[in-house]
Amino acid sequence: MARNLLGIADLSPEEVYALLERADALADGATPQRLAGRLQANLFFENSTRTALSFGIAAGRAGVEVVTFPTEASSLSKGESLLDTARTVEALGADVLVVRHRDAGAPGRVAAAIGAAVINAGDGTGEHPTQALLDALALRRRFGGLDGLTVAIVGDLRHSRVANSNMLLLPGQGVRVLAAGPTALLPDVLPPGVEVVRSLDEAVSRSDAVMTLRVQRERLEDALDLSAIDYHREWGLTAARLAGAKPELAVMHPGPMNRGVEIADEVADDPARSLVLEQVRLGVPARIACLEWLLT
Ligand code: NCD
C-alpha cells in the first residue's frame, strides 16, 4: 500500500518534525533525492496558482516527471467519473496523484480506489496538508523553532482547508493556536488545543504570528451580512491594528489575498513583517520533502 498525504492525521508529530527538518535543509540548498523514473500526475479540478506551480517545480527539482491532467478538455465533460479518471491516470503509470477538488474527501476516495500515492492539494473545506507544512516551515525559519510560539488564525476559518490543516499540525509542534473571526465564519467545533478569542486586537497582541485568510465567498452557504468595507474595518490587518503587536510579529497569508479586505497593502507589503512571498518560496522545499517521503 502506498503512503498518502490526505490530511495531517496521516503524519505523526514526529513525522511532521522530520519533514520540516528535511524541508529546512532543502531550503538551505541541500540536494533533493533523485526520484527519476517516477511520474506525478497533477489533477486540479479547482483553480490554483501557487499550489499547482510549486508541485510542478518541486517534482522537477527531484527529477520526477509531471503530467498535468487537462480538467477542462478531458473526458470528464463526457461524464467519466473522478474514480475512473484516477484509475486511468494510474494505468498510464502515475506513481503519485496530486489532487485538488471542490468536494471534501475526494482525494481520500481516489486514494481508496488506486494503489498509487495521493497527495491532497486542497479538498473543498477539508484539508490542505502541504500548505500547513510550508506555513510551519516559514514560522520555524522566522523564529528558529515552533515550540512555544503563539499563532493566531484570523478570518474565514469555517471554510478554510488551510486553517483546518494548520489547526491540526501546529498544536502537535508545541504551538498555541488562537482562532478569531466573525462568529458566522468560525467553525462550530475546533480541534483540541485551539482557543477562540473574540477580537482581532486580542489575537494580534498575544501572537508571534497572525495568519489571515480570504473570505471564501464561493463556499458561503448564506450571504455574509458584512460588506467588504465592514469586514476590513473589523477584521482587516492594517498598520493601525498592528500598533499593539509584538515588534517581531509576523504576518502570513496563504494567498490569494484580497487586498483592502482581510489585509491592507501596507501590511501585505511590509518587508519586516510579511511572510507572504516567503510562504510561496518555501512551498517548493516543503513539497520536495513530501515527494521524498511518499516515493522512497
Ligand atoms: C488557498 C486554497 O486554495 O486553499 N490557497 C492556497 O492553496 N495557497 C486559500 C484560498 O483559496 O483562499
Express each pLDDT in 54-68 by its tens digit.
999 999 999 999 999
Confidence of residue 128 (pLDDT cuts 50, 70, 90): very high
pLDDT at 223 over 80: no
**With a 6 A CB cut-off, is 159 part of the ligand 1 pocket?**
no
Is the CB of 42 within 6 Å of ligand 1?
A: no
Give the DSSP letter of residue 30. Answer: P
**How much of the chain exceeds pLDDT 90, in percent?**
90
- Does residue 161 line the site of ligand 1, with CB under 6 A? yes
Q: What pLDDT is attached to residue 227? A: 87
Answer whether 50 contacts ligand 1 (Cβ < 6 A): yes
Residue 79 has pLDDT above 80, yes or no: no
What is the model's pTM? 0.97
Question: Which amino acid residue places its CA nearest to atom 8 of ligand 1?
Answer: 254
What per-residue string of b and e applies to 145-157 under the rule 16 or more CB within 10 Å gives b?
ebeebbbbbbbbb
Substitution site in 131, 164, 211, 287 for ligand 1 pocket (most atoms within 8 Å of beta carbon):
131
Q: Quote the radius of gyration of the chain (alpha carbons, Å).
A: 19
**SS3 of residue 133 by DSSP:** helix
The H or E element that residue 135 is part of is helix 129-143
Give the position, in ligand 1's atom list, of the atom nearest the Cα of 162.
Answer: 4
Asked if residue 207 has its Cβ within 6 Å of ligand 1, the reply is no
Q: How far is the CA of 162 from the centre of ligand 1 (A)?
A: 7
| Ligand 1 contact, 280 CB (< 6 A) | no
Q: What pLDDT, on the 0 to 100 scale, is given for residue 270?
A: 98
Q: How many A from CA of 155 to the centre of ligand 1?
A: 13
Give DSSP secondary structure letters for 41-56.
EEEESS--SHHHHHHH
